[in-house]
Amino acid sequence: MSERIKTYREFYQFYLTEHSKTGTRIFHFIGTLLVFVVIGYVISSGKERFLWYIPIFGYGFAWFSHAVIERNKPATFKYPLWSLVSDFRLFFELLTGKQKFRETTPSSRTTEEH
């Protein structure tokens, strides 16, 4: 990725190539799920001190998977906002079945854009 990506649509296609392995998608899904669990717990308990777990779970699981499984550099460093949005988008697409956990190839990936 030498040129700066100009649109979110282009970025999300790039993001999917950087998250093509099953293990990466599983770790991202678990990390994002834990973020929602922490938010739910904080809302229900009023214990805001647990909010510091959010970046640990959200980034920890994701960055581990990029380092160990995908073996690439997270796009967060170059595109922080689009990466965050894409993490949640991929989570919900995995949850609803629009994306699959199995390893993807360019021909099996969804190219449809909202």
- Report the mean per-residue pLDDT for the chain: 91
- What's the pTM value of the predicted model, to 2 decimals? 0.86
Q: Each residue of 44-87: pLDDT tens digit?
A: 999 999 999 999 999 999 999 999 999 999 999 999 999 999 99
**CA nearest to 68, candidates 14, 21, 13:** 21
Give the whole-angstrom CA distance, residue 86 versus residue 69: 19
